[in-house]
Amino acid sequence: MAYDILTVVALGVLVVAFIITSFMIKTKHRQRVMHRHFPDSWLPCLEKLPLYNMLPEELQEELRARVMIFLDEKEFEGCGGMEINDEMKVTIAALACMLLLNKKLDYYPELNSVLVYPDAYISPKGVSKVGGNQIIVDTESARLGESWLHGDLIVSWNKIESEAYNEYSRSNVILHEFAHQVDQMNGAADCVPPLVKRDDFDDWEEVVPKEFADLQRRIEFGIPDVIDRYGATNPAEFFAVTTEAFFCKSIDLQHHRPELYNQFRNFYQLDPASWCEDHRSRSQFAE
């Protein structure tokens, strides 16, 4: 019996040592990657993104480093005849990493590959997912993006182009699908992201479910809202759609739903509404 206990303890120590060593190796490798020179040919890809141009300089610098790590770790695959190029990879990586800025979140640990279709793709019959929730799809359907809990994330490049490079776009499929990935970092997508403090969780639970229920009521009665009606589908979609609004309609969200904006600002540790105001001021001064 004593031998068995010692064996179990020894195996446990080995497992812990392996985990710690793996973490240290990954951390050191990431540090090396993020300090590499950001390729000059990639910078114009970032500068085409209005969201990147609105970032303060220190966050632009952080984003470039995070893009380097994301592209070092994730695979990209063209589907439906799509050939992947650097612009596609840098654009997708930049928008994905926008959600990681200014906080300690891992680089989408459950994600292996990003599959890129030229346009809408046909999702077959069978089991599909909305956030972390499995649903049964009885018919084939055309889709522009889809996030899975493990493995792949699927997007349409035509949809990305129409939104990501348009400063007046009020939606963003990359932010939406990667918001699902963020929501899933602590389990199933349920509109409760990995909050740091207990007080943060309490504040979130006090505000966000109430805002979700209010959106559902407004949609039921046909009342327009700053949050797209798709956000009323379920809590997972509410988180993803509100994330889009937080970055793409930040001033409107702050004005019409200030409590909700504050919760997302607290979680993401970012303040896009202030970026918009600063960007407008800089633009007016330049004129």
Distances (CA, A) of 272 to 32, 57, 97: 29, 14, 15
Question: CA-to-CA distance for 144 and 142, rounded, in angstroms?
Answer: 7
Share of the chain above pLDDT 70, in %: 78
* Total-model pTM: 0.84
3-class DSSP assignment, residue 143: strand
Q: What is the pLDDT of residue 61?
A: 97
**Environment class of 139 (CB within 10 Å of its CB; exposed 0-12, middle 13-18, buried 19+):** exposed
3-class DSSP assignment, residue 116: strand
Every domain of the chain and the residues it spans: 1-31, 36-286
Distances (CA, A) of 48 to 1, 87, 160, 239: 66, 10, 12, 26
CA dihedral 30, 33, 34, 39 (to 10 degrees): -160
Residues 43-73 have pLDDT tens digits of: 999 999 999 999 999 999 999 999 999 999 9
Question: CA-to-CA distance for 231 and 249, rounded, in angstroms?
Answer: 14
Q: How many CA atoms lie within 13 A of 212 on its CB side?
A: 22
What's the rounded mean pLDDT across residues 185-198?
92
Mean pLDDT of the residues in the chain: 85
What's the rounded mean pLDDT across residues 30-52?
91
Q: What is the pLDDT of residue 236?
A: 95
Q: What is the pLDDT of residue 162?
A: 96
- Greater confidence (36 vs 27) lies with 36
Its CATH class, for the domain covering 36-286, is alpha beta
Band (187; pLDDT cuts 50, 70, 90):
confident
Nearest residue to 111 (alpha-carbon basis) of 78, 152, 144: 152
Least confident of 99-113, 249-263, 266-280: 266-280
